[in-house]
């Protein structure tokens, strides 16, 4: 029993720290609320979809920026998508980086865009790692017989 | 002897008689000849004699008479016939001329006489004119003096200056020794010496007013000569040797403002007079002339007028000063009031926001907390927190409402609402408390009560809740019954309340609600106090019932705003009480609703909590967003279909879908909306279209409205927000713009 409680506490602390450091925001809580008996893996599914989507978009972005003649419209559309996805799951820092990216797009500033792309990639990889750790912790708690506490 | 033609006189020449005749004739001739000479001489001297030819005639007569007498001298002795003839001719001529003259004189003498009378007449006239000239001159003198005096007097509005000037000028004009003014004292029983010309006279000396001489002067408006020995005149040291100069006194009416009527002049109504005494210098043997007396009378009148003007001016200056003071005070008070009002408004504005914000946070978060997993103790704690915060929020709202109500700035939020649902909700809210106190509550809604009505739902509910709450609060046992029905116009007319005038009309009806309880009752004497704010019924039994005493006061104001009336009937303590109110509501005609997309509404409506089986279509090209939205809707029990493109959406959408959520950032988001509108023309069968967007700008909202969307939601959407959106969309079907 002790172990479960400890694991649970670890999970809660870790989740809290993610929120505290700004990786995740309120929207992630909403997602967790939607998870119930009918939909036990809702959050994991959504986040996996997010990972897939984002990686695809980031590749497209990198390709588009390497072009001779940069098509800022397409880049803007991709960044918009990425922004939407990240805000849907509550990946706050990614979303903010996307907003900055869009500004440079509007200015048609290739240099700035490249820099922002790097930033977004960086944030994305950070949040991906964090979320994967979080899910691992959750699996451990479940394996130990405890339940994932609902967000406060 | 030759016969000579001589005539012999009858008597001898030597006779004495003849001698005397001879001498007389000589002298007569002499005189007769000298008279014309004198006449000529004097007439030549004076040029004005009008009757020259009369003189000539007269001269001729006299000359001839003289000649006759002269020639007569020769007839005393023997004289020739020639002399006799000449004598005869002369006599004849003389006779003729004298007859003519005599005849002339008959005409001339009356003329001469009338000349004389005319001369006398003219002399009299001249004397008269002289006299009149003298009079006019004196009058003119008088007039000049009066004008000058008046000018002097009127040039100042200061009472003292007026009086002093009068005395000085009169003294100068009339060369008086002394001039004094006696004014009546406050008591009116004495005359006090107020002003004199010579400063050494004792000012302040008084004399009783009832002296006969004073009465005499006061009873006439003329200047009256008085004796120098009477008390009013005995004010100067007698310096002369023989006789003190004559003294004249005149009354000066002291006119009060109230004496001036519009149409008549004050005649005998003035009772107060001052006395002006004028004394001629002693030993001058001067007398008071009539024109001097007149002058004095005129001056006295002028002084009276000037004094009244001065009095009027004094009054008006005083009134004006008073007014100015009052104005300043009023201005100050007004500014203070304004400051107070401003301070209160600022305070209210701050209170409004500052107090509501934390309350909102507390209530919102507590309600969210309720939805999470809690242990029973935690749940109880959270519920208590929620209840207390709601009470506090209600109190804040009440107080703020009341201030706004008092201001008159509160306006009803009119809207269509379900009337029966309001009563049901009140019942639901009150049932827990009533059941704790074991008070059965029954609700009787008349069958003809309309389902929907137009009015201020929130405040109506507040009123009903307050009244029912009071019934529960003040009952320890017994039944509580709530009855609601449509009041007939006749029964309304029977209610005789002084300030309630029901006006029946076709599109309004009067809702009458009665809440009867069998509780503590109220003393009929206390009933009027019930509706005054902050006044509580201080009987022991009710002291612990809580409440701030505002409830009924606010209810009354709400009911008044709804053009109704609220009153309480009770037979006395322990006999229960019935609270009745009547309000005017508008009848809902037909489904003439207009739809506006509503902006973010707070977590207010928790109408439906699950929407099981509600068919919903979600269109979003972003996979993650699509999945999240689907998850939200599935959590709420909906049957969700997702599409990722507009073509797919148009293919899939059907009448089964009640709501379509679309991400309008998609390229043809708006077009899809238009197509759906075209396809499903019947309004209540068309699926409702709601836009999901991440941009909160006006342009997006306007575009959504333009294409006829039924709602706009801002991403990200929380569970509560989605719940609220769905229930609003579905339950009302009709959306009014949220305030």
* Average pLDDT for chain A: 87
Q: Are B610 and B587 in contact (CB under 8 A)?
A: no
Q: Can you tell me the mean pLDDT for B29-39?
A: 84
Asked whether residue B543 carries a pLDDT value surpassing 50, the answer given is: no
Give the E-state strand segments of B5-159 in sequence order: 6-7, 79-80
How far the first Cα of chain B sits from its last, in Å, is 183
- DSSP line for B563-601: T-EEEEEE-STTS-EEEEEEEEEEEP-SS----------
d(CA B739, CA B733): 18
d(CA B628, CA B89): 182
**Residue B560 pLDDT grade (very low, low, confident, very high; cuts 50, 70, 90):** confident
In this prediction the pTM is 0.35
Helix axes of A92-107 and A72-89: crossing angle, nearest 10 degrees: 160
Complex ipTM more than 0.85, yes or no: no
**Residue B591 pLDDT grade (very low, low, confident, very high; cuts 50, 70, 90):** very low
C-alpha distance from B391 to closest chain A C-alpha (Å): 25
C-alpha distance from B537 to closest chain A C-alpha (Å): 45
Chain A residues with CB-CB distance to B718 below 8 A:
26, 30
Helix axes of B698-706 and B669-679: crossing angle, nearest 10 degrees: 20
| β-sheet bridge partners, residue B196 | B180
Phi, psi for residue B705 in degrees, rounded to 5:
-65, -40
| β-sheet bridge partners, residue B7 | B79
Dump pLDDT digits (tens) for B116-152.
Answer: 889 999 999 999 999 999 888 877 877 787 787 778 7
Inter-chain touch A88–B621, beta carbons under 8 Å: no
d(CA B288, CA B170): 14
**Considering Cα of B174, then B178, then B183, then B189, what sign does the dihedral take?**
negative
> Most A CBs within 10 Å: which of B620, B628, B664, B695, as the mutation test of the A interface?
B628
Q: Can you tell me the mean pLDDT for B288-293?
A: 83
Question: Which regions in chain A score pLDDT beneath 50?
Answer: none
d(CA A56, CA A82): 10
Q: Which residue has the higher pLDDT, B352 or B259?
A: B352
Percentage, residues of chain B above pLDDT 90: 7
**Considering Cα of B432, then B434, then B439, then B440, what sign does the dihedral take?**
negative
d(CA B554, CA A146): 54
Looking at residue B449, the DSSP 8-state letter turns out to be S
**Residue B332 pLDDT grade (very low, low, confident, very high; cuts 50, 70, 90):** very high
Inter-chain touch B628–A84, beta carbons under 8 Å: no
* Average pLDDT for chain B: 79
d(CA B55, CA B366): 153
Dump pLDDT digits (tens) for B48-76.
Answer: 666 677 777 777 888 888 888 888 888 77
Inter-chain touch B624–A34, beta carbons under 8 Å: no
Q: Are B510 and B486 in contact (CB under 8 A)?
A: yes
- Tell me if chain A has a CB within 8 Å of the CB of B667: no
To which H or E segment does residue B358 belong?
helix B356-371
d(CA B450, CA B99): 147
Q: What is the pLDDT of residue B325?
A: 94
| β-sheet bridge partners, residue A7 | none
Looking at residue B488, the DSSP 8-state letter turns out to be P
C-alpha distance from B708 to closest chain A C-alpha (Å): 25
Residues 6+ apart with CB under 8 A from B620: B626, B629, B642, B644, B661, B662, B663, B666, B692
Asked whether residue B260 carries a pLDDT value surpassing 70, the answer given is: no
Inter-chain touch B718–A26, beta carbons under 8 Å: yes
Q: Can you tell me the mean pLDDT for B637-649?
A: 87
């Amino acid at each position: 029993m002790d172990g479960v409680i400890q694991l649970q506490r670890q999970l809660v602390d870790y989740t809290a720290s993610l929120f505290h450091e700004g990786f995740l925001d309120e929207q992630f809580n909403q997602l967790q609320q939607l998870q119930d008996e009918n939909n036990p893996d809702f959050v994991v599914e959504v986040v996996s979809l997010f990972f897939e989507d984002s990686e695809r978009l980031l590749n497209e972005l990198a390709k588009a920026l390497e072009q001779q003649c940069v098509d800022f419209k397409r880049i803007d559309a991709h960044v918009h998508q990425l922004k939407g996805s990240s805000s849907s799951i509550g990946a706050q820092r990614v979303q903010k980086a996307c907003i900055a990216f869009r500004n440079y797009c509007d200015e048609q500033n290739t240099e700035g865009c490249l820099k922002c792309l790097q930033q977004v990639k960086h944030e994305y990889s950070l949040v991906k790692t964090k979320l994967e750790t979080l899910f691992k912790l959750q699996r451990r708690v479940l394996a130990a017989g405890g339940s994932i506490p609902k967000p406060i | 002897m030759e016969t000579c033609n001589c005539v012999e006189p009858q008597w001898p020449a030597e006779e004495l008689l003849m001698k005397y005749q001879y001498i007389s004739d000589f002298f007569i001739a002499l005189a007769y000849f000298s008279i014309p000479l004198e006449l000529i001489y004097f007439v030549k001297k004076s040029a004005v004699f009008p009757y020259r030819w009369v003189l000539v005639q007269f001269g001729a007569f006299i000359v001839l008479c003289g000649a006759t007498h002269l020639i007569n001298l020769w007839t005393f002795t023997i004289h020739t016939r020639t002399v006799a003839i000449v004598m005869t001719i002369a006599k004849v001529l003389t006779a003729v001329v004298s007859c003519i003259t005599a005849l002339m004189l008959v005409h001339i003498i009356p003329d001469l006489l009338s000349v004389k009378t005319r001369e006398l007449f003219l002399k009299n006239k001249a004397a008269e004119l002289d006299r009149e000239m003298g009079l006019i001159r004196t009058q003119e003198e008088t007039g000049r003096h009066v004008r000058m005096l008046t000018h002097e007097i009127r040039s100042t509005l200061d009472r003292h200056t007026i009086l002093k000037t009068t005395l000085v000028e009169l003294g100068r004009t009339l060369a008086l020794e002394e001039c004094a003014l006696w004014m009546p004292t406050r008591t009116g029983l004495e005359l006090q010496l107020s002003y004199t010309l010579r400063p050494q006279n004792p000012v302040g000396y008084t004399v009783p007013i009832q002296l006969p001489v004073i009465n005499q002067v006061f009873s006439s408006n003329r200047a009256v000569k008085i004796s120098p020995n009477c008390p009013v005149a005995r004010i100067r040291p007698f310096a002369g040797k023989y006789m003190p100069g004559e003294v004249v006194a005149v009354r000066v009416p002291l006119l009060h403002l109230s004496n001036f009527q519009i149409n008549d002049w004050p005649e005998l109504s003035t009772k107060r007079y001052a006395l002006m005494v004028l004394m001629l210098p002693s030993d001058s043997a001067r007398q008071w002339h009539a024109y001097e007396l007149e002058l004095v009378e005129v001056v006295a009148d002028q002084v009276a007028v000037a004094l009244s003007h001065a009095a009027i001016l004094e009054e008006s200056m005083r009134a004006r000063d008073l007014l100015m003071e009052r104005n300043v005070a009023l201005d100050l008070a007004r500014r203070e009031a304004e400051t107070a009002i401003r301070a209160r408004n600022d305070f209210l504005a701050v209170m409004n926001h500052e107090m509501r914000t934390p309350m909102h946070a507390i209530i919102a978060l507590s309600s969210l907390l309720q939805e999470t997993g809690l242990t029973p103790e935690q749940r109880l704690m959270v519920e208590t927190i929620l209840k207390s915060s709601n009470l506090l929020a209600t109190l804040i709202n009440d107080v703020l409402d009341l201030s706004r109500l008092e201001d008159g700035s509160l306006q009803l939020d009119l809207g269509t609402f379900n009337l029966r649902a309001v009563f049901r909700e009140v019942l639901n809210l009150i049932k827990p408390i009533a059941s704790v106190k074991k008070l059965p509550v029954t609700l009787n809604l008349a069958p003809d009560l309309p389902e929907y009505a137009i009015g201020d739902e929130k405040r109506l509910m507040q009123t009903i809740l307050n009244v029912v709450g009071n019934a529960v609060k003040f009952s320890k046992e017994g039944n509580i019954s709530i009855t609601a029905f449509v009041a007939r116009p006749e029964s309304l007319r029977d209610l005789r309340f002084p300030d309630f005038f029901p006006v029946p009309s076709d599109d309004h009806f009067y809702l009458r609600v009665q809440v009867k309880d069998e509780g503590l009752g109220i003393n009929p004497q206390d009933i009027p106090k019930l509706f005054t704010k902050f006044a509580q019924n201080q009987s022991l039994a009710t002291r612990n019932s809580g409440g701030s005493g505002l409830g009924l006061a606010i209810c009354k104001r709400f009911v008044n705003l709804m053009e109704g009336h609220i009153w309480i009937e009770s037979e006395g303590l322990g006999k229960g009480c019935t609270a009745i109110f009547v309000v005017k509501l508008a009848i809902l005609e037909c489904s003439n609703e207009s739809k506006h997309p509503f902006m973010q509404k707070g977590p207010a409506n928790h109408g439906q909590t699950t929407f099981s089986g509600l068919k919903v279509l979600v269109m979003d090209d972003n996979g993650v967003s699509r999945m999240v939205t689907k998850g939200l809707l599935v959590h709420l029990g909906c049957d969700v279909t997702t599409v990722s493109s507009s073509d797919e959406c148009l293919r899939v959408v059907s009448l089964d879908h009640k709501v379509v959520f679309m991400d309008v950032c998609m390229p043809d988001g708006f077009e899809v909306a238009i197509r759906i509108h075209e396809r499903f023309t019947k309004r209540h069968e068309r699926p409702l279209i709601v836009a999901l967007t991440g941009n909160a700008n006006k342009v997006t909202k306007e575009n959504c409205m333009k294409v006829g969307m039924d709602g706009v939601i801002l991403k990200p959407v929380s569970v509560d927000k989605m719940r609220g959106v769905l229930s609003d969309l579905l339950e009302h079907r009709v959306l009014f713009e949220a305030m």
